[in-house]
Structure 1
Amino acid sequence: MTQLPDGNALAGKRALVLGVANAHSIAYGCARVFHRLGAEIALTYLNEKARPYVEPLARELEAPIFLPCDVQRDGDLDAVFRRIGETWGGLDIALHSVAFAPKQDLQGRLVDSSAEGFTVAMDVSCHSFIRMARLAAPLMPEGGTLLTMSYHGANKVVPNYNLMGPVKAALESAVRYLAYELGKQDIRVHAVSPGPLKTRAASGLKDFDLLLTEAVQRAPIGELVDIDDVGLTAAYLTTPYAAHLTGMTVYVDGGLSIMA
């Protein structure tokens, strides 16, 4: 596991992290690094079934805001931002690590995907980020950073990524347009694109173990990244060190994406 740095690069910052499912989640890796660097953390969990896996993490991160948030359920996302406004009065960082597609559509060919499945995948995995941005922007009067999670399958064909390829491509395009629209408010917007990781969400992909094995063999550094690697990159993008970066898709994949 990547060694986490000590420091206070995010001291005084307030960060919302959407999408923590358990201790193996990319979202948790990001929240852990943010907290380690001094940020105050707000966490959400999907539903009561997920709560027992996320609540201990919220206690570990000393999160004063811990709420359910199903982006498909009317009012949940609004309630989260209403609580942030009431509790903190503002926000510096909002990270979106939410994606879903119905199993049949995810594991089948894109050409066979249903209109309903495609719509659900686009709403949860892409449009919810746009909704998050709309709610976060008023709480960032002095600027801030919006982050979401993508994957190399948005730009190149990754066998068995199927439906999620076009959906993540739409997400990366949304990042660029939001960066343009919110730039005058000093709000920077990025997608972070990790290499293959053993997360619950990724396990739904067909032949995912083969994808992991191939990644180790092909990546120039010869090993997989972990959730803390992703968290460190996300943290960097929220600091003054990245003050003039926006609208980017930043790869954290050990160089896998440069290989033919």
Structure 2
Amino acid sequence: MDAEWLFKKEDYIPVKDKEKFINKTILGIINVLGLIRRKESYSNKIYYRTNSTVKVIFTFLNIILLSLSRNATFLLAIDLYLIISTLFIEKEDRIKIFIISLMVPVFTLIMLIPSFLMGNRLNSILILFKVIGTILFINILSYTTKWTQITRALKLLFIPDLFIWIMEITIKYIVILGDYSLNLLYALKLRSIGKNNSKYSSISSIAGTLFLKSKDMGEEMFSAMECRGFTGEYKGYINTKVTKFDIIYIIINVFILVVFLLS
């Protein structure tokens, strides 16, 4: 008689619960990790094959030229050049660049509406052109260059080792802790059967777990670096090989510099 419950049919139907918050969090983390990670094989197009040091140098130089210029024609020409340049980038990266480069200028335009209505139209237009150009320059560099190549280029440009070390470790830890947090969120989602009223409090527990995990990883990394005799010095190796892509890229950017000096 005590085992009759074994022969009864189970009619339990879990109550449906909303999982939008967890799903959005997972998608957000995946998007951030996707922006950091870069595929191993790149396209044969010019921006992907150009020397990373050359790209970093001229990207920063062109941003400085944009910030100093007061010529609306020059700024508009640079923006058009950058838009055309994105056509030489892979379609997937080009779409992402256009989306980001559209969102930021729209927000800037909204912020400049009072200034534009007050009669300060020229400066408002100049600021808008500068924002568009800067966003395009940075995104083209980011989507066509690996992070490891950028850090190596920074070393060759005499950027302090401490700055490079902090940036590189931060990027690596974002990826590692991002993967770890995804596993925690997947585990929470799988274990949340039916209505889970404590789901939001579990998010704070995940954040605390990530903090403790990052603390342990930081101590382990410090011990490993100490055992290996790491002194905080990065070594950069110069790639002396010059390709046709480098020559084309240099010629275009030197022409931009000449136009700026003449404008």
Higher strand share: 1
TM-score by length of 1: 0.24
User: Whose Rg is larger?
Assistant: 2
Higher helix share: 2
Relative contact order higher in (CA < 8 Å, ≥ 6 apart): 2
TM-score by length of 2: 0.24
